[in-house]
Structure 1
Amino acid sequence: MFTTLVAVIAALVLGHVAPAPVASLRRFHWYTRWLEWLGVQAADGGFWRGRYGIALALLPPVLLVALVQIALSGRWLGLVSLLFGVLMLAWTWGPRDLDTDVESVLDAHDLDTRRARLAQLAPSPDTVMAEGPTLPGSVMRSALRRWFAPLFWFLLLGPAGALLYRLVERAAVANPGVLPEENAAGTRVLLQWLEWPVAQLMTLALALAGNFDLVFRAWRGAGGDRWQPESLFLEAVGRAAVSGELAEEAEDYLREGRTLPVSGELLGLRDAMSLVWRMLLLWLALLALLVIAGWVS
């Protein structure tokens, strides 16, 4: 738990202090070349072209990290293990910091610049990011893939878990054309199952951080209470939570005789990022309580 807290703080700090070098380290070019090499070796068929073929790409790096993780456990009072965990989460975080990208959109002064910066917020290359009611939902999905999913799997399985999620996400989202058809379909399903528990926990945090009734109704209406790999309810609850925030904020501003500080649909973007920060703080506060409880006991 303590390692997770330190690792998250380090990942956030590194992304702000040295955004360009850190982002360049998170591009996973070596993984793309690894997938391409496997595709060449299995050109005539075999396990790689099947639904579970992605396991061939995942096992070597994830197993290597897991072995290092086990070997470092307890060494030097846990300091080496702590440093390894910090480095691994900082590596699998992102690849870009969400709050920095949101701020760049809000600071854009012309339409073309804003559109270009909005594209950097997309959770996947095929997602069209445009001002409108769907924008908060896309921000929530980006928050899941950049921050919350690596954090969840790091907490559950350590550095190997964070790497497992990031490699599956990179294969399914960033390099879908590299994989054979059945392999790509299986990888997408695996990604959905890896993201499903994270989306559920994000929804709970969002309900606690925002309007509980609105979030709960949106969650049920979008099928969040059903056992299925798709977690599209996250976009629905994100839109519902932001609409509730905007309605409450508009009432406050009207009552005080003030005007809203940001015009247009970017109000939704700003409030979505505010909710993401609140969710992250709730997660970290819970981790801190668990750490304190462990020390006290």
Structure 2
Amino acid sequence: MFTTLVAVIAALVLGHLAPSLLATLRDWRWFGRGLGWLRAQLGESAAHYSVLLLVAPCVLLVGLLQWALAGRLFGLPALLFGVAVLALCWGPRDLDRDVEAVIDAEDEATAALAASRLQAAGGSMREDAPGLVEATAINALRRWFAPLFWFLLLGPLGAVLYRLLAQSSQGLQSQQLSTEERRSGDVLLAVLEWPVAQLMTLSMALVGNFDTVFSAWRRAAGNRWALQLGFLAEAARASVGAELVEEAEEARLAGQVPADERYPELRDAMSLVWRMLLLWMTLLALLVIAGWVG
């Protein structure tokens, strides 16, 4: 738990203090080159096993290092290894910076480029406010919360497993795969993301309007055993809409004019994501303190 908490803080701090360095380190093109080489060696008949044959050794190597470092030198090597792995698997782009770029864009061309970067990990491809809110929620899942969840459950091994599968299914590397391979990858990725999306929705309800989020979750079939993430996007749009209504009502009662801001929905969506992450980190901190006290 302590390693996870430190690793998350380090990933966030490094992302703001050394964005260029981390952008270089988080370059997953080596994975694409390895995938292309492996597919060429296997031939068409066995190419559909290429992702598995490339991901498995990487995950196995990280797992062996994780096991070898466990318990050595009071856990310091394992801590540093965990911080490094999660920092690399975080992102690969910083979500808050991409959201700020969309809000601060001064012309349509810049706004379109910023929106495409925000939508890099999936979600809605529309550039209207609801589409950008959905993209923020889905990208928060794939850039932050899913690596964090699987790191928490399995350690560095889990974060690497998720990031490599996400890159093969949603990254530029997916262009090398056939339609059937991408479909299979999407199903496997959905298995890893579905529990994270459910926990994110619960967190959203706790830090926002519970009734609004719960109604949106049920309306989008979040209470069914289906590997779909639509309920997360629906809950995010509903929660942001409810918060904007509340802010407008508070401004009206105070005799103020609501601020004229570009994409206020996007600002609220990012604020919501930050509150959700803060909730997760607070729970981790409480678990760490409970472990020390116990």
For 2:152 and 2:124, the matched residues in 1 are separated by: 29
Aligned to 1:224: 222
Number of corresponding residues: 293
For 2:229 and 2:98, the matched residues in 1 are separated by: 24
Aligned to 2:107: 110
**SS of 1:134's equivalent?**
helix
Residues 183-239 of structure 1: CA distance to partner in whole angstroms, max 9, x if unpaired? 222111011111101000000000001000010011011111111111211100000
**SS of 1:130's equivalent?**
coil
Cα distance, 1:102 vs. partner? 1.3
Does structure 1 residue 12 correspond to structure 2 residue 7?
Answer: no
Contact 1:149 1:195 in 2 (8 A): yes
Matched letter for residue 257 of structure 1: G
When residues 120 and 14 of structure 1 are mapped into structure 2, their CA distance, relative to the original with a 3 A threshold, is same
Aligned to 1:59: 56
Aligned to 2:282: 285
When residues 59 and 246 of structure 1 are mapped into structure 2, their CA distance, relative to the original with a 3 A threshold, is same
Task: Return the structure number with greater relative CO, CA threshold 8 A, min gap 6.
Answer: 1
Matched letter for residue 249 of structure 1: E
Cα distance, 1:126 vs. partner? 8.2
Residues 233-270 of structure 1: CA distance to partner in whole angstroms, max 9, x if unpaired? 11000001000110100101111222233435x01000
What is the TM-score normalised by the length of structure 1?
0.95
Q: Show structure 2 runs of 5+ residues with no match.
A: none
Residues 83-102 of structure 1: CA distance to partner in whole angstroms, max 9, x if unpaired? 00000000000111111111
Aligned to 1:29: 29
For 2:107 and 2:16, the matched residues in 1 are separated by: 24
Cα distance, 1:130 vs. partner? 0.7
Same amino acid, percent of matched pairs: 54
Q: 124-133 or 170-179, which moves further after superposition?
A: 124-133
Residues 81-133 of structure 1: CA distance to partner in whole angstroms, max 9, x if unpaired? 00000000000001111111112222222232222212110044685241322
Q: Show structure 1 runs of 5+ residues with no match.
A: none
Cα distance, 1:182 vs. partner? 2.8
**SS of 1:226's equivalent?**
coil
Q: 37-46 or 246-255, which moves further after superposition?
A: 37-46
Matched letter for residue 285 of structure 1: T
Q: RMSD across aligned C-alpha pairs, in angstroms?
A: 1.5
Aligned to 1:170: 167
For 1:57 and 1:126, the matched residues in 2 are separated by: 26
For 2:168 and 2:288, the matched residues in 1 are separated by: 34
Matched letter for residue 71 of structure 1: A
Aligned pairs for 1:270-281 within 5 A: 270-281=267-278
Residues 126-169 of structure 1: CA distance to partner in whole angstroms, max 9, x if unpaired? 85241322221111001001100000000000001001000000
Aligned to 1:253: 251
User: Paired residue for 1:98, among 95, 101, 105?
Assistant: 95
Contact 2:168 2:185 in 1 (8 A): yes
Aligned to 2:76: 79
For 1:270 and 1:126, the matched residues in 2 are separated by: 17
Does structure 1 residue 70 correspond to structure 2 residue 67?
Answer: yes
For 1:159 and 1:262, the matched residues in 2 are separated by: 44
Matched letter for residue 189 of structure 2: L
Contact 1:42 1:49 in 2 (8 A): no
Matched letter for residue 37 of structure 1: W
**SS of 1:238's equivalent?**
helix
Aligned pairs for 1:152-191 within 5 A: 152-174=149-171, 175-191=173-189
Cα distance, 1:57 vs. partner? 1.9
